[in-house]
Chains A and B, each alone.
Chain A
Amino acid sequence: MGTSIVQTSENFKFDTLQVGPLNQNSFSSYTGRLVTAATGSYNDPVFGQINTRTLIKPVITAQIGIDGVVNTSTIDLRMIFDPISVWGDTTVPTQYSIYRVNNLWRGIPWQYDDQVLFDRVNPVASFQRSREDTVTVSMAADWVAEFGTFYNADEALKDSLFSLEFNGLVIVADDDATSNAISFLNIANTDFFITRDPNNPADEPVRFDIQDWAYTVERVNNPAPNERLIMNSTNDILFSTDFTTELAQFNQSNIVNAEIVFYEDTLTLQNNLPAQHVRMEARALETHVGFGLDPDFDITFGTGDSLALRTAEDATYRFNVTAYVNAFLFGELDETEFFFSIVERSGLLSSTLLFNSNATDPAMRPKLIITTIGE
Chain B
Amino acid sequence: MKRFFITAVILVFPLVSIAQVSDGGKSRSGSIYSFFGAGSPVDIGTIEEESIGVFGISFRGFSSTGFANPAFFGQNIFTATTIGLSVTRFDARDANGRATNSLVNPTSFLLSLPLFEGRLGAGVGLYQVTSSRFRIFQEGTASGSGNPIDFSINDRGSGGINKLEFGIGFKITRSLHVGYAPSYVFLSSTTESVLETENAAVGDQISLFNTDGQGFGNRFGLLFNQRNLVWENDALYFGATLNLPVKISSERVNQFDKFLGIDSQGRNVVETITIDQGPGLGRGDIELPLEYGAGFTYFPNNLVNFSVEGQVQKWGGSAFDFSTEQEALLKDRFRLGVGTQYHPYRKRSNRFLSKFKYGFGINYDTGHLEINGQNIETLVFSTGFGILGRGRSVSTLDLSFQYGIRGTRQSNLVKEDIWSFKLSLNLSERMFFRRRFQ
Q: List A residues at the B interface (Cβ < 8 Å).
A: 1-10, 12, 14, 16, 252-257, 259, 261, 318, 320, 322-324, 326-327, 330-333, 367, 369, 371, 373-375
Q: In the assembled complex, how far is the CB of residue B427 from the closest CB belonging to chain A, in whole angstroms?
A: 41
The answer to whether A375 and B278 touch across the interface, beta carbons within 8 angstroms, is: yes
> Given the complex of chains A and B, what is the CA–CA distance between A4 and B35 in angstroms?
13
Question: When chains A and B are docked, how far (Å) is the Cα of A79 from the Cα of B258?
Answer: 52
* A16 to B201 CA separation, bound complex (whole angstroms): 16
Shortest CB-to-CB span from A87 to chain B, Å, is: 32
A327: chain B residues within 8 A (beta carbon): 260-261
Known: A8-B155, A375-B280. A2 touches B144 (CB 8 A): no
Is the C-beta of B232 less than 8 angstroms from some C-beta in chain A?
no
Q: Chain A's nearest CB lies how many Å from the CB of B421?
A: 24
Taking the closest CB of chain B, its distance from the CB of A40, in whole angstroms, is: 40
* Other-chain contact of A326, B94, B193, B207, B258 (Cβ < 8 Å): B258
The answer to the question of B7 belonging to the interface, with a C-beta cut-off of 8 Å to chain A, is no
Assess whether A374 is in contact with B278, with CB atoms less than 8 Å apart: yes
The chain A residue with its CB closest to the CB of B97 is A1
Set of chain A residues within 8 Å of B261, measured between Cβ atoms: 323-324, 327, 331, 333
- Specify the chain A residue showing the minimal Cβ separation from B100: A1
* Distance to closest chain A CB from B189 (angstroms): 12
CB B412 to nearest CB in A, in angstroms, measures 4
- 19 chain-A/chain-B pairs, Cβ below 8 angstroms: A1-B92, A1-B93, A3-B136, A6-B32, A7-B138, A9-B207, A10-B155, A10-B207, A14-B145, A252-B281, A256-B205, A259-B146, A259-B201, A326-B259, A330-B271, A333-B260, A373-B195, A375-B279, A375-B281
What string of 1s and 0s marks CB contacts (under 8 Å) between B140-180 and chain A?
00101110010101110000000000000000000000000
Q: How far is the CA of A322 from the CA of B261 in the complex (A)?
A: 10
Interface residues on B, range: 35 or more
Contact between B32 and A14, CB atoms less than 8 A apart: no
- Which parts of B354-405 form the interface with A (CB within 8 Å)? 371-372
Among residues of A, the one whose C-beta sits closest to the C-beta of B138 is A8
Are the CB atoms of A330 and B201 closer together than 8 Å? Answer: no
Whole-angstrom distance between the alpha carbons of A56 and B372 in the complex?
Answer: 83
The B contact surface, by secondary structure, is strand
Residues 235-278 of chain B, each 1 if its beta carbon lies under 8 Å from chain A, else 0 = 00000000000000000001010111100000001010101111
Does B413 sit within 8 A of A, measured CB to CB?
yes
Cβ–Cβ contact A1 & B96, under 8 A:
yes
**Interface: B303 (CB within 8 A):** no
Closest Cβ neighbor of A330 among chain B residues: B273
Q: How far is the CA of A83 from the CA of B281 in the complex (A)?
A: 62
Tell me which residues across on chain B come within 8 A of A331, comparing CB atoms: 260-261, 269, 271
Query: A7-B136, A326-B273, A373-B207 known; 7 other A-B pairs, CB under 8 Å?
Result: A6-B35, A252-B275, A252-B278, A323-B259, A326-B260, A369-B145, A374-B278
Asked if residues B258 and A330 are in contact (CB atoms below 8 Å), the reply is yes
Is B14 at the interface (CB under 8 A from chain A)? Answer: no
Is the beta-carbon distance between A3 and B96 smaller than 8 angstroms?
Answer: yes
User: Chain B's nearest CB lies how many Å from the CB of A46?
Assistant: 27
User: How distant is A323 from chain B, measured CB to nearest CB, in Å?
Assistant: 6
Shortest distance from the beta carbon of B93 to any chain A beta carbon, whole Å: 7
A6-B136, A9-B155, A16-B145 as given contacts; A1 in contact with B94, CB under 8 Å: yes
Contacts A10-B207, A252-B278: A257 and B202 contacting too (C-beta < 8 A)? yes
Cβ–Cβ contact B149 & A12, under 8 A:
yes
CB-based contact A254/B93 at 8 Å: no
A257 to B201, CA, bound (A): 6
